[in-house]
Amino acid sequence: MAILGNNTIATVAVGSASTELIAANQARLHAVITNISDEIIYLSEGAAAVASKGIPLAPVDASGNPVPAGVYRTGENGVLFRGAINGICASGSKNVATKES
């Protein structure tokens, strides 16, 4: 579940089974998902996420800072996906930060 708003960030727990990170939203203008864990998280647009497949989000660096490869964005450069975005990770106990407007 994501919280809508220009300045609101939600933390979503990612499971070892496909987990909805951001629900489908036909009014979406922009969405960002940032991996804030120490494990790779895989994303899928519009379908169930599958371990080791899809869009990989790199874990944070040794200092706990997100790396560019650990951020997913839609709504930039003319590319906008408005369907559900799902994630999965091996341990089933990691978090992502989501933002949608």
Give the other-Cβ count within 10 Å of 93's Cβ: 12
At 101, which helix (H) or strand (E)? none
Instruction: Kindly state the average pLDDT of the residues 59-83.
Output: 89
Within 13 A of 56's CA, how many CA atoms are on the CB side?
12
Q: Is the dihedral of CA 24, 25, 29, 34 positive or negative?
A: negative
Q: Residue 68: helix, strand or coil by DSSP?
A: helix
pLDDT(29) > 50: yes
Nearest in space to 23 (alpha carbons), one of 4, 1, 3? 1
pTM over 0.85: yes
10-100 maps to which CATH number?
2.60.120
Residue 78's pLDDT band (cuts 50, 70, 90): confident
